[in-house]
Amino acid sequence: MNLIEVKNITKAYESGESKTEALRGVSFNIASGEFAAIMGPSGSGKSTLLHILGFLEHPTSGEYNFNEKSIDKYSEDELAKVRNGKMGFVFQAFNLLSRASVYENVKLPLMYSAVPEQEWDTRINEAIEAVGLSHRASHEPAQLSGGEKQRAAIARSLVLKPDVIFADEPTGNLDTKNSEIIVGLLDDLNKKFKHTIILITHEDFIARRAKRLIYIKDGLIERDEKV
């Protein structure tokens, strides 16, 4: 089943008389359980594409179906519910609460969800264990390495058991060793738990860990291939 279907998506930004076309007609499908990397140089449109896929922005034109339902058929409340409950996000900057422990950071999405509170502890511990941070669950971000911070962020993205995880340059603030650990973790989550993962990166060695590479340049897909 195709989780994501994108057909001829465009995105233009206007400022006064100036118009910038970030996406100029992008089409592809992502199957449930797939691990795909979207790669391209700075300004290629890959982050804009991720924002559209994650319901953070609307396309200017084109069709986007998520779970076989058109984005145009979702109300704003429904979009927010799908984004918060069916999508997990991992960012370059980690976005962890500095005065909260790993456990508390991972718990945060549950506090705004419909998941019964009696399930929270199990879900939190399962997510933390999945990223190998059980021994650091009580530590705050200042006590963690960069790689551990990103693992905590990944655990937070897992706790609601989303349909897809969007990872936007998740290794951008990490050295090569920790970058390889993080992308290896994403690979394991895909293989062992069948999580659908869409990874945004400009690093070739990171992209090559995915099963599919979508290369975008100047707002167009230049290449789409199995790795």
| pLDDT for the residue 17 | 79
Instruction: Show pLDDT as tens, one digit a residue, over the chain (227 residues).
Output: 899 999 999 999 988 778 899 999 999 999 999 999 999 988 899 999 999 999 999 999 999 999 999 999 999 999 999 999 999 999 999 999 999 999 999 999 999 999 999 999 999 999 999 999 999 999 999 999 999 999 999 999 999 999 999 999 999 999 999 999 999 999 999 998 899 999 999 888 899 899 999 999 999 999 999 98
Q: How far apart are CA 73 and CA 55, in angstroms?
A: 13
Which ranges in the chain belong to alpha helices (H)?
A: 46-53, 76-86, 102-107, 120-130, 146-158, 176-193, 204-207
| pLDDT for the residue 203 | 87
| pLDDT for the residue 15 | 82
| pLDDT for the residue 195 | 92
Which residue is it, tokens 């005065």? Answer: 99
Token representation of residue 99:
């005065």
Buried b (16+ CB within 10 A) or exposed e, 48-79: bbbbbbbbeeebeebebbbeeeebeebeeeee
pTM confidence score: 0.94
| pLDDT for the residue 16 | 79
| pLDDT for the residue 193 | 85
